C-alpha cells in the first residue's frame, strides 16, 4: 500500500500535497464572477487555516473572473472545471495553481493534449475527481456502482494523462456512502502512488455531514491514507475548514491550538461542567498555545485520567482541584473555576 509518506508529491503553489504532508482544502460558495465576494471568502478561509481554495469555473466569464482574483491573492487556487477544456487552458494560463478536471470528459485527445500542455508549462498538477455518481460508463457496466468502478474510472483518466507523459496527478474517489468511499480509497492506494484528496461527497448538513466526514476521512487518515482533505458540507465553507482541521487534530496530523478533554457528566459530577467547559472553550477560542486542557467532573477519572493534560480541573462538591501535569496545585471554589483556569492558561 502507498501510505501518505510514499505518495508522489505534487506542489500547489508552495503547498506540498503528498509525500507525508497533509493539507486542508475548501471551495468557495460564492459565484466566481462576483470577484469581491469571492476574494473576501478566499481570505477568510485562508485565515481559518485553509491551505488551498477551489473555485468553480463554469463559463468564460468565470474564467476571466478567476484571472482577476488570481492577481489579488497569494492563496493557492484550484480551478474546478467540467467538460469545457478551453476553460482549463485559460485558467492554467492565468495562474491557477492546480486544475480539477477529468480528461475523459473533455472530448478528443487534442483537447487533452492542450490542457496537459498548459499545465506542464506552468508546472501545475491536475486533480482527477471521480464521483460515484459520474463513474465512467464502461467501468459501471463492468463493475456496477462500486468502489472498483470508481478506481477503474480514475485509472482511465490517469491513462489518458499518461499518454501525454503527465503524472503530476492528485486523485479523489468520492461517494456519499462512507463505506464505499473508504473502500475505494483503500483499493486505489494499494495500486497507485498518486496523492489522494479525501472527501465524502454530498455529505449533508453541518451535523450529519461532519459525522460522515469524520468517520470516513478519519478512518482513512488513521490508516495512513490521504494527503489533502476537503470536508463537504451544506454550510458556510468556514465550517468545512474548521471540521477538516478538527479531523486532522483527532488523527494526530495537526498539532496546533488548545486541545480540550472534558468528561461526560455522570451522576458523580457535582459541578455544572457543561457550561463550565463551554465557557472556558469560548474564552480560549483562537488562543494559539499548544496546551492540553482537562475539564473533569470528578476525582474518580479526574487528575488520573488527565495526567497528560498540561492543566486541568477536577470537580468536587461545590469546588474543584486545579492540577498541572497530574500534580494537584490547590483547591478552588466552584464560582472561581472558569476565571482561574483562563488566567492560569493565559500565564502559561
Q: Which of residues 132-151 bind its own copies (CB under 8 A)?
A: 132-134, 145
Pick between residue 1 and residue 222 the one whose CB is nearest to its own copies: 222
b/e map 170-191, b = 16+ CB within 10 Å: bbbbbbbbbebbbbbbbbbbee
Find the binder of its own copies among 117, 208, 256, 290 (CB under 8 A): 208
Under a CB-based contact definition with an 8 Å cutoff, are residues 66 and 80 in contact? no
Q: Does 295 bind its own copies (CB under 8 A)?
A: yes
Residues 6+ apart with CB under 8 A from 108: none
Mark the segment that binds its own copies (CB under 8 A) among 11-19, 146-154, 159-167, 196-204: 196-204
Q: How far apart are CB 348 and its own copies at their closest, in Å?
A: 19
Under a CB-based contact definition with an 8 Å cutoff, are residues 141 and 135 in contact? no
Pick between residue 78 and residue 168 the one whose CB is nearest to its own copies: 78
Q: Does 236 bind its own copies (CB under 8 A)?
A: yes
Is residue 203 classed exposed, middle or buried when 0-12, 13-18 and 19+ CB atoms within 10 A define those classes?
Answer: buried
Distance (Å, rounded) from C-alpha 228 to C-alpha 98? 13
What mask, x for binding its own copies by CB under 8 A, covers residues 237 to 276? x--x--x--xx-xxxx-------xxxxxxxxxx---xx--
Pick between residue 274 and residue 319 the one whose CB is nearest to its own copies: 274
Q: Does 232 bind its own copies (CB under 8 A)?
A: yes
Pick between residue 168 and residue 269 the one whose CB is nearest to its own copies: 269
Q: How far apart are CB 27 and its own copies at their closest, in Å?
A: 5
Under a CB-based contact definition with an 8 Å cutoff, are residues 269 and 295 in contact? no
Pick between residue 36 and residue 163 the one whose CB is nearest to its own copies: 36
Under a CB-based contact definition with an 8 Å cutoff, are residues 52 and 98 in contact? yes
Distance of CA 338 to the CA centre of its chain: 32
Q: Does 318 bind its own copies (CB under 8 A)?
A: no
Q: Does 202 bind its own copies (CB under 8 A)?
A: yes
Q: Does 300 bind its own copies (CB under 8 A)?
A: yes
Under a CB-based contact definition with an 8 Å cutoff, are residues 297 and 269 in contact? yes
Pick between residue 66 and residue 192 the one whose CB is nearest to its own copies: 66
Distance (Å, rounded) from C-alpha 90 to C-alpha 240? 28
Report which of 172, 196, 150, 50 is spatially closest to residue 101, judged by C-alpha positions.
Answer: 172
Report which of 288, 324, 319, 331 is spatially closest to residue 306, judged by C-alpha positions.
Answer: 324
Q: Does 178 bind its own copies (CB under 8 A)?
A: yes
Pick between residue 195 and residue 199 the one whose CB is nearest to its own copies: 199
Q: Does 24 bind its own copies (CB under 8 A)?
A: no
Number of residues that bind its own copies (CB under 8 A): 83
Helices 35-47 and 60-71, axial angle in degrees (round to 10): 50
Find the binder of its own copies among 17, 28, 106, 158 (CB under 8 A): 28
Pick between residue 6 and residue 177 the one whose CB is nearest to its own copies: 177
Amino acid at each position: 500500500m502507498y501510505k501518505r509518506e510514499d505518495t508522489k508529491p505534487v506542489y500547489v503553489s508552495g503547498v506540498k500535497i503528498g509525500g507525508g504532508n497533509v493539507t486542508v482544502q475548501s471551495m468557495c460558495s460564492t459565484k466566481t464572477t462576483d470577484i469581491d465576494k469571492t476574494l473576501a471568502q478566499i481570505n477568510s478561509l485562508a485565515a481559518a487555516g485553509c491551505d488551498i481554495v477551489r473555485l468553480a469555473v463554469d463559463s468564460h466569464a468565470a474564467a476571466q473572473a478567476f484571472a482577476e482574483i488570481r492577481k489579488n491573492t497569494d492563496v493557492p487556487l484550484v480551478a474546478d472545471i467540467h467538460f469545457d477544456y478551453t476553460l482549463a487552458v485559460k485558467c492554467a494560463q492565468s495562474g491557477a495553481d492546480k486544475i480539477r478536471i477529468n480528461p475523459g470528459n473533455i472530448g478528443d485527445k487534442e483537447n487533452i493534449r492542450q490542457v496537459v500542455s498548459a499545465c506542464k508549462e506552468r508546472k501545475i498538477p491536475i486533480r482527477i475527481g471521480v464521483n460515484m455518481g459520474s463513474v465512467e460508463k464502461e467501468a459501471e457496466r463492468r463493475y456496477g456502482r462500486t468502489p472498483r468502478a470508481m478506481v477503474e474510472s480514475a485509472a482511465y483518466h490517469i491513462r489518458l494523462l499518461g499518454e501525454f507523459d503527465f503524472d503530476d496527478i492528485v486523485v479523489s474517489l468520492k461517494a456519499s456512502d462512507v463505506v464505499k468511499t473508504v473502500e475505494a480509497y483503500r483499493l486505489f492506494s494499494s495500486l497507485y502512488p498518486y496523492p489522494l484528496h479525501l472527501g465524502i461527497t454530498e455529505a449533508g448538513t453541518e451535523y450529519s455531514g461532519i459525522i460522515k466526514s469524520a468517520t470516513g476521512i478519519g478512518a482513512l487518515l488513521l490508516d495512513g491514507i490521504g494527503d489533502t482533505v476537503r470536508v463537504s458540507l451544506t454550510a458556510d465553507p468556514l465550517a468545512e475548514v474548521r471540521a477538516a482541521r478538527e479531523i486532522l487534530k483527532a488523527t494526530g496530523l495537526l498539532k496546533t491550538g488548545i486541545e480540550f478533554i472534558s468528561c461526560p457528566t455522570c451522576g458523580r459530577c457535582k459541578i455544572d461542567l457543561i457550561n463550565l467547559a463551554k465557557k472556558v472553550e469560548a474564552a480560549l477560542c483562537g488562543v494559539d498555545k499548544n496546551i492540553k486542557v482537562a475539564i473533569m467532573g470528578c476525582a474518580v477519572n479526574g487528575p488520573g485520567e488527565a495526567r497528560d493534560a498540561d492543566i486541568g480541573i477536577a470537580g468536587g462538591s461545590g469546588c474543584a482541584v486545579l492540577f498541572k501535569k497530574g500534580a494537584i496545585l490547590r483547591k478552588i471554589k466552584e464560582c472561581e473555576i472558569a476565571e482561574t483556569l483562563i488566567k492560569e492558561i493565559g500565564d502559561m
